[in-house]
A and B are shown apart, each in its own frame.
Chain A
Amino acid sequence: MSVLTHRRTSLRVPTRSMHMVERNVMAYRHNWIVIVSGFFEPVLYLLGIGFGLGSLVPAVSTGGHTVSYAVFVAPALMATSAMNGAVYESTSNFFYKLRYAKTFEAVIQTPVGVEDAAMGEVIWAVIRGCLYSIGFVVIMQALGLIASPWGSVLSVLAALLIGFAFAALGTAITTFMRQWQDHEIVTLALQPMFLFSATFFPISVYPPVLQAFVEVTPLYRSIHLIRGLTTGQIDAGLLVDVLYLVLLGLVGLAVASLRLRRRLLK
């Protein structure tokens, strides 16, 4: 009881997150088919949009280079799938644990703290996203959609960072949710990002004001980063993307931890 009544006001650096990750691995041991089948979705998008629809769009100009439509769209699909995986895990699944399964109420009775639980959930979402990214990069490499082997390795690392940023953001947002219908707001935010962030066509088709707006949204920065790495157009702009995503992730994590503490330690 004394542990619970003694409320700290500053956040502690999470050191016991791996226990939370281990809990999730155990929970999914009998449901691994759900995780494996998630790999097919981005690949279907690549075949349907990249090659099927791509047959109607011969070549696209990006960053001064002209590339085939599949080369253009594949990195965007990879970034989107890293985002979707992280957001799904950190909103729907996390909400269920928070609201119904009361998983965290049990967790914080142990030496694992609120910060560890929040960080552990984010790490788990990142690990899950990482599996899909590796699978996707292997397919891209096999289809000849990546400029160099370095591009493959670096783009998997970039996908990890994207997963971290969106998982932290999703966890933070979920702590504000009260009911399932609130998830439709997430859908309404994700869908335009998915469609308008230079995913399927370059943003040069927009008026300048709209271009500037799109350029500060997180999925645009994610796609810009991965596309730079897979097409081999490496420049200082990629550093901006990395900084942006690191900052977004850290802010999300801090908000999530503070909110979780308020919700759980009462």
Chain B
Amino acid sequence: MALMAGTIHVVEYNALVFRRIWRGSIAVSFFTPLFFLAAMGIGLGSLVNRSSGGVNGVPYLDFLAPGLIAAACMQTGAVEATYPILAKIMWDKTYEAVLATPVTIADLLRGEVVWNTIRMCIVATMFWVVMFLFGVGHSLEALLAIPASILTGLAFATPIMAFTATRRNDSGFAAINRFIIIPLYLLGGTFFPIAKLPLALQAVAWATPLAHGVALTRGVVLGNLTSTEAVMHVLVPLAYFVAGLLIARALLLKRLAK
């Protein structure tokens, strides 16, 4: 258990800070899916269903809702891996204080990844509940949407933490959001099938973890995933997560070890 003790301390630190700000954060995590599913799923969905009879054989709401859960975890995982981490490396120098204790750099990284997972779990669970209230995903397997979307978010969290470990200021974060997160959110299979994109962009989309994460989450909710598809949609995000973790570990060691 000694291995986990340091990790748990890092998670506990984050939870203590979160205790003071959770109200606004929880409100946003609840109202965002409520507004999005009402407006895009039902309002816009009524136009989509009327003119093309839904998407891939299901009503637009059923198509959209699981994709949005995966995309929400991508956004949470990405944001949590930027400003809060750089603040603790540079601005508040929290890690300098932490590393003066028996907690190691590896503990730090594990603790931050676990904390990010907890944040995504809150977001995904709230979203799942709202989706359930809208009448989508009424099956036991649909609960798998929560781990599937967390996996999607983790595939972004660790590579972005690796990037953060190299930063001296926050100007790169706006670029990550504008040139990676927002384009993927809008074009990566959440709002319309990737097959509607030009061929070259389809290839790019399938190389990213979001497309696989969305397909996985959607597949478990709609219950129409083949086992080959399931394996591929798990392996691609998992590969991003593991590679990101290893690189982040090496870069944090370089930055923080004295």
Contact = CB atoms under 8 A, between A and B. Distances in A.
Interface of A: 31, 33-34, 37-38, 40-41, 44-45, 47-49, 52-53, 55-60, 181, 184-185, 187-188, 191-192, 195-196, 200-201, 205
Nearest to A197: B39
B44 interface: yes
B52 A58 contact: yes
Nearest to A206: B43
23 contacts: A31-B171, A37-B174, A37-B179, A40-B179, A47-B187, A48-B183, A49-B186, A49-B191, A52-B186, A52-B191, A53-B192, A57-B44, A57-B48, A57-B51, A58-B51, A59-B51, A181-B24, A184-B25, A184-B28, A191-B31, A195-B38, A195-B43, A196-B35
B232 interface: no
Given A57-B47, A196-B43, 8 more contacts: A44-B186, A47-B187, A52-B197, A181-B21, A195-B36, A195-B40, A200-B44, A201-B46
Contacts of A33: 171
A184 B24 contact: yes
A45 B25 CA distance: 25
Interface residues of B, number: 34
B258 interface: no
B46 A44 contact: no
A200 B43 contact: yes
Contact of A52 (B25, B36, B175, B192): B192
Contact of A56 (B28, B35, B55, B174): B55
Contact of A196 (B21, B39, B196): B39
Contacts of B55: 56
The secondary-structure label for the interface of chain B is helix
Interface in B18-51: 21, 24-25, 27-28, 31-32, 35-36, 38-40, 43-44, 46-48, 51
A107 B58 CA distance: 59
Given A31-B171, A184-B27, A55 B39 contact: no
B168 interface: no
A187 B28 CA distance: 8
A200 B186 contact: no
Contacts of B174: 34, 37
Nearest to B194: A52
A60 B186 contact: no
A52 B39 contact: no
Contacts of B192: 52-53, 55-56
Interface of B: 21, 24-25, 27-28, 31-32, 35-36, 38-40, 43-44, 46-48, 51-52, 55, 60, 171, 174-175, 178-179, 182-183, 186-187, 191-192, 196-197
B182 A201 contact: no
A47 B31 CA distance: 26
B44 A48 contact: no
B24 A192 contact: no
Counting from the closest, the 7 A-B pairs by CB-CB distance are A48-B186, A195-B39, A184-B24, A201-B43, A52-B192, A200-B44, A201-B44
Nearest to B188: A48
Contact of B191 (A38, A48, A188, A192): A48
A40 B186 CA distance: 12
Nearest to A55: B196
Contacts of B47: 57, 60, 201
Nearest to A60: B47
Contacts of A48: 183, 186-187, 191
Given A200-B39, A200-B44, A201-B47, A52 B187 contact: yes
A188 B46 CA distance: 25
Contacts of A196: 35, 38-39, 43
Contacts of B182: 41, 44
Nearest to B43: A201
Contacts of A185: 24
Given A31-B171, A187-B28, A195-B40, A53 B46 contact: no
Contacts of A60: 47
A181 B28 CA distance: 11
